[in-house]
Amino acid sequence: MSDHSISAPSPRQTGYLLTPGPITTTLSVKQAMLTDWGSWDNDFNLLTASIRQQLLALAHAEAEFSCVLLQGSGTYAVEATLATLVPRSGKLLILMNGAYGQRMAKICDYLGRDYVSLDMGDYLPPEPAEVARLLAADPAISHVAVVHCETSSGILNPVEAIAKVVKTAGRSLIIDSMSGFGALPVDARSLPFDALISSANKCLEGVPGFAFSLIRTGVLQQCAGNAHSLSLDLFDQWQYMERTGQWRYTPPTHTVAALAQALQEHTAEGGVAGRLARYRQNRDVMLAGMRQLGFRTLLEDDWLSPIIVTFFCPPPPFDFKAFYAALKQRGFIIYPGKLTAVDSFRIGCIGQVAAAQMQQLVSAVAEACQELGLSLPVPLPAHLTSSTVAQA
Ligand SMILES: *Cc1c(COP(=O)(O)O)cnc(C)c1O
């Protein structure tokens, strides 16, 4: 078991957040927000510079990439990256298997960028060979977007294999690694991509307020004038940061200080490898306990991420709202499901939780089931007992 020590939730905290972010943070990360920084002050500029450098280092991307920080949640950085990198005459292939791929299509609708999508439904992975075929058939496609861990199902997409076929086809790859970066290894020296997007408040265990994109500098230099939006123009944001060391427009100062502290704690935990090891253990402890209670996962083991896991809801009297409330009362906040066809819920493995909390969670789930009048192990959901779907 990990000896990573977890501080108890602070008095006004609702419980441990077993969600895809914002997540539970350390007391020291929260305390880092007790200073009011001047946005023009040199000490704050040094903090900004150090964060940019550390984020590049996490992806081994110091040599050929630039880190562009952007105020707002993760979606702002996804929209800004698409707007800045994909020229108005470009065309995007979106690899879609959940809500975040679908959101990129919606962004393209707003931006007026041409796109096609390979829609795999709720949870099936995109096939690299199919991607190669689509790229060969349509020379107009200039860029491909893929979600690293599609948080809506928890699937870990085959990003390495996708990157290979995109590179072979001579196109540009944009990776949404929002929910994985900091825990899922990324090595820009061997993984061919042009941009990778993430935010402060997921696996890096900072608080919400800004996101960032690691963009190949040679590509970014060609992007002047692409963006349709001033505040989302990452080329302009980058130029301004390079020139002045400051953010364009008011920076989320407290959030920046919190991430600086969170990055120190990330290093102290052993970097990406250390964090991944704890999250994997969180998942394994939680999964073993949940399975013992009769719960079934949406995905087969090979596709399960150490980020978040989707479970099918058992049949009535199970009721998600009542289940959620019973767990909240016991100090755990879980997350509703996002599947279109069947009822599900999700449990996150990220943030300041370790094996001991995951074990407490499993006990809380058992108590909640009893409170809801379910026998243990819980009965199978109806769609798993009918032979047609069981084979799917
Ligand atoms: C969280 C997340 C986002 C961004 O969501 P925000 O709510 O805007 O922070 C984008 N993509 C993925 C895969 C995510 O998990």
How does pLDDT run across 238-296, given as a tens digit for each residue? 999 999 999 999 999 999 999 999 999 999 999 999 999 999 999 999 999 999 999 99
Name all domains of the chain by residue range, CATH numbers in brackets: 16-22+271-388 (3.90.1150.10), 29-267 (3.40.640.10)
Question: Does residue 19's CB lie within 6 angstroms of at least one atom of ligand 1?
Answer: no
Q: Ligand 1 centre from 178 Cα, in Å?
A: 6
Counting ligand 1 atoms within 8 A of each CB, the residue from 199, 308, 346 with the most, and so the one to mutate, is 199
Looking at residue 3, what is its pLDDT?
62
Residue 391 has pLDDT above 50, yes or no: no
Residue 7 has pLDDT above 90, yes or no: no
Question: Does residue 206's CB lie within 6 angstroms of at least one atom of ligand 1?
Answer: no
Length of the chain: 392
Question: Does residue 180's CB lie within 6 angstroms of at least one atom of ligand 1?
Answer: no
Name 219's Cβ contacts closer than 8 Å, sequence gap at least 6: 85, 172, 194, 195
Looking at residue 45, what is its pLDDT?
97
The pair of structure tokens assigned to 74 is 């993760």
Question: Does residue 261's CB lie within 6 angstroms of at least one atom of ligand 1?
Answer: no
Ligand 1 atom closest to the Cα of residue 179 is 15
pLDDT tens-digit readout, 79-107:
999 999 999 999 999 999 999 999 999 99
The pair of structure tokens assigned to 384 is 């798993």
Question: Does residue 177's CB lie within 6 angstroms of at least one atom of ligand 1?
Answer: no
Looking at the DSSP bridge assignments, the partners of residue 248 are: none
Confidence of residue 335 (pLDDT cuts 50, 70, 90): very high
Looking at the DSSP bridge assignments, the partners of residue 143 are: 92, 172
Sign (positive/negative) of CA torsion 64, 68, 74, 80?
A: negative
What DSSP assignment string belongs to 317-345? T--HHHHHHHHHHTTEE-EE---SSS-EE
pLDDT tens-digit readout, 42-60:
999 999 999 999 999 999 9
Question: Does residue 172's CB lie within 6 angstroms of at least one atom of ligand 1?
Answer: no
Counting ligand 1 atoms within 8 A of each CB, the residue from 102, 178, 179 with the most, and so the one to mutate, is 178
- What average pLDDT is seen over the chain? 95
In contact, 198 and 151? CB cutoff 8 Å: no
Which residue carries 């984020």 as its tokens?
Answer: 55
Looking at residue 124, what is its pLDDT?
94
Question: Does residue 178's CB lie within 6 angstroms of at least one atom of ligand 1?
Answer: yes
Question: Does residue 179's CB lie within 6 angstroms of at least one atom of ligand 1?
Answer: yes
Question: Does residue 151's CB lie within 6 angstroms of at least one atom of ligand 1?
Answer: yes
Q: Whose CA is nearest to atom 4 of ligand 1?
A: 74
In contact, 151 and 20? CB cutoff 8 Å: yes
Looking at residue 10, what is its pLDDT?
62
Dist. CA 264–CA 266, nearest whole Å: 5
- State phi, psi for 293 to the nearest 5 degrees: -80, 0
Question: Does residue 209's CB lie within 6 angstroms of at least one atom of ligand 1?
Answer: no
Question: Does residue 147's CB lie within 6 angstroms of at least one atom of ligand 1?
Answer: yes
Q: Whose CA is nearest to atom 12 of ligand 1?
A: 178
Q: Whose CA is nearest to atom 9 of ligand 1?
A: 74
Confidence of residue 12 (pLDDT cuts 50, 70, 90): low
Confidence of residue 339 (pLDDT cuts 50, 70, 90): confident
| pLDDT > 90 fraction of the chain, expressed in percent and rounded | 91
Counting ligand 1 atoms within 8 A of each CB, the residue from 23, 75, 181 with the most, and so the one to mutate, is 75
- Flag whether the pTM goes above 0.75: yes
Q: Ligand 1 centre from 211 Cα, in Å?
A: 10
Q: Whose CA is nearest to atom 5 of ligand 1?
A: 74
Opening angle at CA 389, ends 388 and 392, nearest 5: 105
